[in-house]
Amino acid sequence: MGECIIRVKKLSSDISQFRFDLGHFQLGQPNRRTGVCDTDLFLIGEGTHQEVKICGTNNGQHIYYDVDDVNEPIEVKIIATQPNIYRLWEIRISQIEFKHRAPAGCLQYYREPSGIIQTMNFAVNGRHLADQDYNICMRQETDDPGSGDDSIPLSDDVGQSRGCQDRVMLPCDIEEFITPGGGPRVCDLLHCGNSFCSGSDLPCRIESSTLPFSIHVQFGPAIAEESPEDNLGMCLKYDQQACVV
């Protein structure tokens, strides 16, 4: 086994970002108990403040990588350490000019008015990856002030979201946490467990007009879990709502 390394150089000084589209992406799964990519690893910008490290199943995912202040080629590396593992990858790399770039600080950027967002390696037999800290952003459509999220988020050992090692953060307004009965609830920015709501409140959603529309993913360091199947990651459905005049 070994490494596959490519180096990507900006075609011109007008290039502001690289976009990686993972059309097909199947590497070895992370350690089932810790979430660490200790068998296979896909690595962008090793040792930089933008370092990206993922493994597992990520078909259809994408990644933005800022290169505004970068003059040297960016190194992209796939590391495989064990035999007898099914691997397949097909990755398109696009060079994005400043006028078409994603907002600064967004690892992922969704341009459609509605869709489904998943964390890396969200799969039936997968588990969320350890040591992840990034933003997922959604472009605001014209005259659409708010975004609604209906979620199946990650599980965590800790019941209270502010004590979670693995969590997601969604900006929202206190009066816009909506339950099935239509009543408002206090909006908590931090979420973990297996739902936004508890008990009989299922299903529920968050509505927010807070800009920019974004989700902050924070998955903590490697900790051995007793039930890896309960730590799949996050899957959200979002839909932008038109303004009501």
C-beta separation of 223 from 165 below 8 A: yes
pTM of the model: 0.84
HSE value, Cβ hemisphere, 13 Å, CA-based, for 174: 1
- Torsions phi, psi of 162, nearest 5? -70, -10
Q: What is residue 57's predicted lDDT score, i.e. its pLDDT?
A: 94
Q: What is residue 175's predicted lDDT score, i.e. its pLDDT?
A: 39
Q: What is residue 118's predicted lDDT score, i.e. its pLDDT?
A: 93
pLDDT digits (tens, 9 = 90+) for 77-124: 999 998 889 999 999 999 999 999 999 999 999 999 899 999 999 987
CA pair distance 237, 149, nearest whole angstrom: 6
Q: What is residue 152's predicted lDDT score, i.e. its pLDDT?
A: 36
C-beta separation of 52 from 44 below 8 A: yes
HSE value, Cβ hemisphere, 13 Å, CA-based, for 63: 24
The residues pairing with 94 across neighbouring beta strands, listed in sequence order, are 19
Q: What is residue 213's predicted lDDT score, i.e. its pLDDT?
A: 84
Q: What is residue 24's predicted lDDT score, i.e. its pLDDT?
A: 96
pLDDT digits (tens, 9 = 90+) for 30-64: 998 889 999 999 999 999 999 999 999 999 999 99
pLDDT digits (tens, 9 = 90+) for 140-194: 876 654 555 543 334 333 334 446 788 888 876 543 444 444 445 556 677 777 7
Averaged pLDDT for residues 184-211: 66
CA pair distance 136, 151, nearest whole angstrom: 15
